[in-house]
Amino acid sequence: MNSSLDILTVDTVPSDFSWDQGVDKRVPAKVSSTVGGLPLYIGYAPITTVRLSSVTDHFEFDPLNSIKGKNLRIVDFGDYYNSETNLCKALGTDGECFKHTYIMPGTYSVTIYTTDYTIITELTDVLDSSHTYFQSGVDIRENNLAWQWDNMLRKPKLPFNRSVTWDELNFQNYPDVTWNRIAGTSLTEIDKSGNIVDNTTQALIADDITTSRTGNFFIQVKEITPTAYLSATMPLTPKEYISPLTVRLSPRYTQTGSFPIEKIVWDLGDDTPNITQRRWHNSEELPFVFTGALSEDKADPRNYDVIYTYTKTPETDYSFYPSITAYACSTGTYDTCKITIGPLLPEDITTENKDLKVLQSDLTDTGTVLVGQIGKDVGVWKT
């Protein structure tokens, strides 16, 4: 028994999307190429929404022998990032629509699993406290715990039905927890002693057959990268670029791509160690200054300018090139930009103003050493 899997729509954000803009606008994803003869739908992070339709052949059952049939379809969107909604289930053979949103960049394929259950009776009719019903066909000691766990979420309206946590369930300890095979969106759980933990209206299953089919298409999600931008507040005319020059450097115009900015690493361009402004730990220490430029997202590293003083010394060039590297959340994709500060004019003070006195000099084999005084400071020079 097979189920079809066809694409209804693939919507995504525009290719010029920026996280700062929000997600108001969606456009159809383009089918730009094929992989192995199958269409490749190309969308953009953080939102590429796929809608699929599925139809299943009708299940035949035998009412004369009290055998009923149920059909379960599980669509696996192959998304381990947005995994909460990765699996969609449908009970029955009616035409169904499945929907999922991909957040992260990657190439995905979709698989539908169709299981036909042959049910001999309803579980509530035959439950016996002396029985323990194991799930068959799955060894919980193996690694494929993922989708079993998903199945353990129960209907919230039933008496014992609440979402159990991994730690509460402790179901790695085989065989402390056993459960009946599912025949719906819920399940019956019976503990090791045979006590019914959750008496839902489930079914005993006589037999089941599962078939799978992978969709005849691929979904590719691309990332829109951030664009770093650094601005500086400096005097208007270059004549005023006199050392030491205090400037205000701002990353506020850095453009987000698919994801918010997670951190900005600053290289102030004068051989001092890099400094970092992180989303998950904002640094309030100087030279960072909070601006609140992005009032709706106060943790954004772009809210922090840097106020810094550049000084022309004998060891530096006349210009400085501070830079920032802006990293996106989740992918760490980054962009770098730099800006020019300068050229700085040396301090507008002549040595006459500073009372320079050469006190003594001495020749060596390779040069001359001079000692002198500038104001109250002692200086040593060589030629």
Partner 1 sequence: MVFSSTTHSLSALHPAKFNYNYNNVEKLKYSGVQYSSGLGHLMYDLFKNAKDIAISKKNLLCLTEVKDLTNVFDDVMEEYDIGRINGAFLLKTQDGRYLKHFNNTICVGGAGTNMVVSIVPIGDNIVELYIDDQTRLEVDTKYPYTVFPSRIILSPTKQYRQQFELDYFDGKITLKAKTADGDRFLSYGVDKTLRAVGVMLDYTSINPYIFVPEFITPSNIVVGFEPKTTEVQYFNELETFKNRYNLNIKSEKYSDTNLLATCTLNDVVDNDNSNINIALLKTNYTSTGTYVPLH
Restricting to residues 194-233, name those near partner 1 by CB under 8 A.
223
CB of 148 to partner 1, least distance (A): 9
Instruction: Please identify, using beta-carbon distances, which residue of 12 and 71 lies nearer to partner 1.
Output: 12
CB of 297 to partner 1, least distance (A): 6
User: Binding of partner 1 at residue 381 (CB under 8 A)?
Assistant: yes
Q: What tokens were used for 109?
A: 């394929």
For residue 370, what are the contacts with CB-CB under 8 A and spacing of at least 6?
358, 360, 361, 380, 381, 382, 383
CB of 353 to partner 1, least distance (A): 9
Contact pattern from residue 69 through residue 108 relative to partner 1, giving x for each residue in contact according to CB under 8 A and a dash for the rest: -----------xxxxx-x----------------xxxx--
CB of 103 to partner 1, least distance (A): 6
User: Binding of partner 1 at residue 121 (CB under 8 A)?
Assistant: no
**Residue pair 191/130 in contact by the 8 Å Cβ criterion:** no
Stretch that binds partner 1, among 22-30, 182-190, 201-209, 342-350 (CB under 8 A): 342-350
Instruction: Please identify, using beta-carbon distances, which residue of 276 and 323 lies nearer to partner 1.
Output: 276
Residue type, 3: S
For residue 227, what are the contacts with CB-CB under 8 A and spacing of at least 6?
254, 255, 257, 335
CB of 382 to partner 1, least distance (A): 5
**Residue pair 251/230 in contact by the 8 Å Cβ criterion:** yes
Instruction: Please identify, using beta-carbon distances, which residue of 117 and 259 lies nearer to partner 1.
Output: 259
Which of 2, 32, 53, 368 binds partner 1 (CB under 8 A)? It is 368
User: Binding of partner 1 at residue 166 (CB under 8 A)?
Assistant: yes
User: Binding of partner 1 at residue 345 (CB under 8 A)?
Assistant: yes
**Residue pair 334/323 in contact by the 8 Å Cβ criterion:** no
User: Binding of partner 1 at residue 379 (CB under 8 A)?
Assistant: yes
User: Binding of partner 1 at residue 236 (CB under 8 A)?
Assistant: no
Which of 114, 243, 303, 325 binds partner 1 (CB under 8 A)? It is 243
User: Binding of partner 1 at residue 46 (CB under 8 A)?
Assistant: yes
CB of 259 to partner 1, least distance (A): 7
Which of 322, 329, 335, 341 binds partner 1 (CB under 8 A)? It is 329
DSSP state, 343? P
Q: Output 150-155 pairs: Cβ under 8 A, ≥24 positions apart.
A: 150/87, 151/182, 151/187, 152/179, 152/187, 152/189, 154/186, 154/187, 154/198, 154/200, 155/185, 155/186, 155/200
Angle at 48 between CA 40 and CA 37, to 5 degrees: 5
User: Binding of partner 1 at residue 237 (CB under 8 A)?
Assistant: no
Q: What tokens were used for 245?
A: 């020059």
Instruction: Please identify, using beta-carbon distances, which residue of 129 and 336 lies nearer to partner 1.
Output: 336
Instruction: Please identify, using beta-carbon distances, which residue of 205 and 344 lies nearer to partner 1.
Output: 344
User: Binding of partner 1 at residue 350 (CB under 8 A)?
Assistant: yes
- C-alpha count within 13 angstroms, C-beta hemisphere, residue 42: 11
Sheet holding 68-76, edge to edge: 87-91, 68-76, 111-122, 203-214
d(CA 380, CA 59): 97
Bridging pattern class, strands 288-290 and 189-191: unpaired
d(CA 28, CA 10): 6
Contact pattern from residue 136 through residue 165 relative to partner 1, giving x for each residue in contact according to CB under 8 A and a dash for the rest: -----x-x-xxx-xx--------------x
d(CA 85, CA 76): 9
Which of 89, 252, 278, 338 binds partner 1 (CB under 8 A)? It is 278
Which of 43, 226, 260, 342 binds partner 1 (CB under 8 A)? It is 260
Which of 259, 266, 308, 320 binds partner 1 (CB under 8 A)? It is 259
Stretch that binds partner 1, among 29-37, 127-135, 198-206, 274-282 (CB under 8 A): 274-282
Question: Which helix H or strand E contains 313, and what residues bound it?
Answer: none
Instruction: Please identify, using beta-carbon distances, which residue of 260 and 322 lies nearer to partner 1.
Output: 260
